[in-house]
Amino acid sequence: MTEGRDISSLFTVYIGIAAVIACAVLFFVLVPSMISNFQSILGMQSSNYIIFNLSVSTSFLAILLMLTALALVASLYLFVAKPIVGMKSKNLNEVDFFRYFSVFILLEFFISILTEFIPGYSIPSIYSTPLGVQAFVLGVSSLSELVVLQFIPLFVMITAYLALTRRLSLSNLLHPHVIMKRDIIVPAIIASVLTSALFSQTVSGAFFNLLTFLMLDYIYLKFGILHSFVAGFTVSMLGVLTAFSASPDLALAALAFLTLWSFVGIFNMGKLVPARTAAANENISDNLYEPVQKKAAPIVQNSEMLWIRSSCPNCGTANFYIRDGMRLECMSCHHIIERDAVGPANIVLEQRRPFRI
């Protein structure tokens, strides 16, 4: 069966689409609750949702909510409407994204389990607030973290790299993976290390942030900014569902879905690692054997019949100048022989550099 059209690939794509739709619906359903809780949100530190502590107003909160909603609508078009209407969900690049998406879910699920056994870790206080506040803080923080902690440092590094290599262009900025290929992991590592070091309060928190942002940065560089946004947003909103104390059944269903998706991530991780190894080995093999296997085609067909291997038909001299267009000029009588002239091969001509003619 064609890669990208097998059952496992389709399941990976559609379970991801289902999660994106569910989280988007939850966000939009809670918009009225977010607006009604603006005063409660104003009483919180703004660093909970925009990284830094600033003096904010109701209008500023409305702008943040609108920007997050616009990013979410764009994501829904990219991941839901476009694949379903255009039947492009089987596109290999999109299948690869949803594979990485499932591995990211597995990583976050694993981190959430580990934190249960680390002293000092507790359920974030945000989950004790009204649902509207939770949805606003977690939804908006997905966008602000994308801009401040991912876009800015990665944009600076990619721009510097492309400028130094003289390949700076809008196309290369939007699709750095085309130029950098496997090397995109380098700026992803640097950005995630800086983020975890500057914005973490504990060593264990820095380690978990490093893993999270390394994955998000890699997704951003390999697939695009909206792909990274939808991955971070989905994880945040799934956290709201799994901590939904008002409906234990809904929270249990969300946890079961998250567990199933994590198993999909285990399966896809097993597929991605061998695929990357095989691709790397194939590139190495191509580089090793390409000079032997590929022979340059001759500039002129039937070169064995050209006058470049014959004597002058006018005087019989075998000494020539090579002129423009590969024409030959006899050094004795200055007779011109065209490039495509034919004749018996009876001499060997040594081509000399222009300054020696």
Residue ranges of the domains in the chain? 7-140+226-290, 303-350
pLDDT in tens, 317-329: 777 778 777 778 8
Q: How far apart are CA 257 and CA 293, in angstroms?
A: 51
Q: What are the two backbone dihedrals, phi and then psi, of residue 336, each rounded to the nearest 5 degrees?
A: -95, 130
* Helix, coil or strand: residue 188: helix
Contact predicate 169/162, CB 8 Å: yes
Threshold 0.85, pTM exceeds: no
Q: How far apart are CA 135 and CA 130, in angstroms?
A: 9
Q: Name the residue with tokens 């988007």.
A: 24
What average pLDDT does the segment 256-279 reach? 81
- Token couple for 170: 């809008």
Task: Return the CATH fold of 303-350.
Answer: N-terminal domain of TfIIb (2.20.25)
Q: How far apart are CA 169 and CA 146, in angstroms?
A: 22
What does each C-alpha distance from 19 to 16, 201, 230, 241, 273 come to in angstroms? 5, 31, 10, 11, 24
- Please list, in sequence order, all residues whose beta carbon lies within 8 angstroms of the beta carbon of residue 210, skipping any fewer than 6 positions away: 192, 193, 195, 196
Helix pair 7-29, 131-145: axis angle to 10 deg: 120
pLDDT in tens, 159-173: 998 899 888 888 888
The larger pLDDT score, comparing residue 354 to residue 296, is at 296
Q: Where do the H-state alpha helices sit in the chain?
A: 7-29, 31-36, 38-42, 47-50, 58-76, 82-86, 92-115, 131-145, 152-164, 170-174, 176-180, 185-198, 203-223, 225-242, 248-293
The larger pLDDT score, comparing residue 356 to residue 76, is at 76
- Token couple for 138: 């977690």
* Burial degree of 16 (CB within 10 A; 0-12, 13-18, 19+): buried
Q: How far apart are CA 20 and CA 204, in angstroms?
A: 29
- Token couple for 181: 């290929």
List the single range of 24-33, 137-146, 331-340 with lowest mean pLDDT: 331-340
pLDDT of residue 354: 42
Residue 218 has pLDDT above 70, yes or no: yes
What average pLDDT does the segment 62-67 reach? 96
Q: How far apart are CA 281 and CA 191, in angstroms?
A: 28
pLDDT of residue 231: 95
Which residues are 264's β-sheet partners?
none
pLDDT of residue 330: 83
How does residue 192 score in pLDDT terms, banded at 50, 70 and 90?
A: very high
Q: How far apart are CA 4 and CA 94, in angstroms?
A: 9
Residue 49 has pLDDT above 80, yes or no: yes
pLDDT of residue 352: 42
Write a three-state SS string for 131-187: HHHHHHHHHHHHHHHHHHHHHHHHHHHHHHHHHHCCCCCHHHHHCHHHHHHHHHHHH
Q: How far apart are CA 253 and CA 75, in angstroms?
A: 24
